[in-house]
Amino acid sequence: MTSSSVNACLEAARKADAPIMIQFSSGGAQFYAGKGLDNKDYTAAIAGAVSGAYHVRAMAEQYGVPVVLHTDHCAKKLLPWMDGMLAASERYYKMHGEPLFSSHMLDLSEEPLEENIDICVEYMERMAKMDMLLEMELGITGGEEDGVNNEDANQEDLYTKPEEVWAVTKALMKVPNAKFTIAAAFGNVHGVYAPGNVKLTPKILKNSQAYISEQLGMPQGSMPVSFVFHGGSGSDINDIRESIGYGVIKMNIDTDTQWSYWDGIRAYEKENRDYLQGQIGNPEGADKPNKKYYDPRMPIRAAEKACAKRLMQAFEDLKCVGVLGLGDSKEPSNVLASSVYREAGARKGALPV
Ligand SMILES: [Zn+2]
């Protein structure tokens, strides 16, 4: 949602020695552009996402971590947002031979299945030409996120059927150079609720893998489908690990990182409350200045640290720690200063030179 939250993600990825996916929702992209800007025809959400993409590209290289740059739920009414971002990637691809974004999600799960598939195929064709990945949604993720409320969704819609996964796979496989993932519903919800309210059934993913393997004539135990786990916040580690075992390659975590970012600010304010009530005057004296406490960078940095800490747990849950092989990073460092990274083939900046 801001360059600060992006930096917290990059900092955590470097510390975990792991790759990361950073994604913008339409609301988050609009926020990146500034809520004071008119968002008619999603122009602010398009510009905000593009701005965020450039920020991620410029900074990922400095942190030395690979990033999959993605955007979140795009419902039918948000397709103009997607079109704007794809146009930006097409321009970028013409100049640099790669798309600006790595990947986008289309969420047409509210539409009839046939229409969902037709629109996905249409976009897959456009995206495959730029080597982009498409994430599509089947079934409904419950809960509430980014203004979309599925808290009263039909229980049956919270669980995807293997036949639906096959219908999507069959259609998208026909597109040349297609790479896609499926956000299948297995009882997952956006948001964090009191224990007992969310019943995850990762076996649904296993059943789909078995069904599709059979259709494709693949041996038993194959995992032809790459799944995405929405609503990872507040999930039990056993459900996370089980779903990874059934072919989940991406887990979204939003609510918990939101909380951690806020919790950093909350704790900072609590600790320094007496120094934050005016520009001058604190427990050390009525004439003492408070500038170094109320400088907004102080609470924001506290938020970044708390958020990076929560992300470290996610890297561990998802078995991602140490996978890049860059070694420990106790202190932040600029990779462009290190010959190790240059000799390892790091580019001189992810932005075009
Ligand atoms: Zn989601």
pLDDT for the residue numbered 147: 78
pLDDT for the residue numbered 339: 60
Encode pLDDT of 108-153 as tens digits: 999 999 999 999 999 999 999 999 999 999 988 878 888 788 877 7
CA-CA distance, 125 to 99, in Å (whole number)?
Answer: 14
CA-CA distance, 40 to 105, in Å (whole number)?
Answer: 21
CA-CA distance, 220 to 167, in Å (whole number)?
Answer: 20
Contact criterion met (CB below 8 Å) for 236 and 199? no
Encode pLDDT of 147-197 as tens digits: 788 877 777 777 899 999 999 999 999 999 999 999 999 988 888 888 777
- Report domain extents, the chain: 115-252
* Cβ density class 134-145: b for 16+ within 10 Å, e for less: bbbbbbbbbbeb
Q: What spacing in Å lies between the alpha carbon of 72 and ligand 1's midpoint?
A: 7
Residues 6+ apart with CB under 8 A from 55: 3, 6
pLDDT for the residue numbered 345: 59
pLDDT for the residue numbered 10: 96
pLDDT for the residue numbered 127: 98
Give the number of other Cβ atoms within 10 Å of residue 149's Cβ.
12
pTM for this model (two decimals): 0.92
Q: What spacing in Å lies between the alpha carbon of 77 and ligand 1's midpoint?
A: 16
Q: What spacing in Å lies between the alpha carbon of 152 and ligand 1's midpoint?
A: 16
CA-CA distance, 276 to 291, in Å (whole number)?
Answer: 9
Give the number of other Cβ atoms within 10 Å of residue 38's Cβ.
8
pLDDT class of 337 with cuts at 50, 70, 90 = low
What average pLDDT does the segment 66-79 reach?
Answer: 96
Q: What spacing in Å lies between the alpha carbon of 44 and ligand 1's midpoint?
A: 21
Contact criterion met (CB below 8 Å) for 272 and 293? yes
pLDDT class of 77 with cuts at 50, 70, 90 = very high
* Domain 115-252 part of CATH 3.20.20.70: yes
pLDDT for the residue numbered 353: 43
Q: Which residue has the higher pLDDT, 345 or 79?
A: 79
pLDDT for the residue numbered 136: 98
Distance of CA 212 to the CA centre of its chain: 27
> Is a pLDDT exceeding 90 seen at residue 306?
yes
Whole-angstrom distance between the N-terminal and C-terminal Cα of the chain?
27
pLDDT for the residue numbered 285: 98
Among all residues, which ones are annotated catalytic? 72
What average pLDDT does the segment 78-88 reach?
Answer: 98
Q: Please choose, from the candidates 122, 131, 33, the residue with its C-alpha nearest in 3D space to the C-alpha of residue 82.
A: 122
Encode pLDDT of 32-46 as tens digits: 999 999 999 999 999
Q: What spacing in Å lies between the alpha carbon of 320 and ligand 1's midpoint?
A: 21
pLDDT class of 49 with cuts at 50, 70, 90 = very high
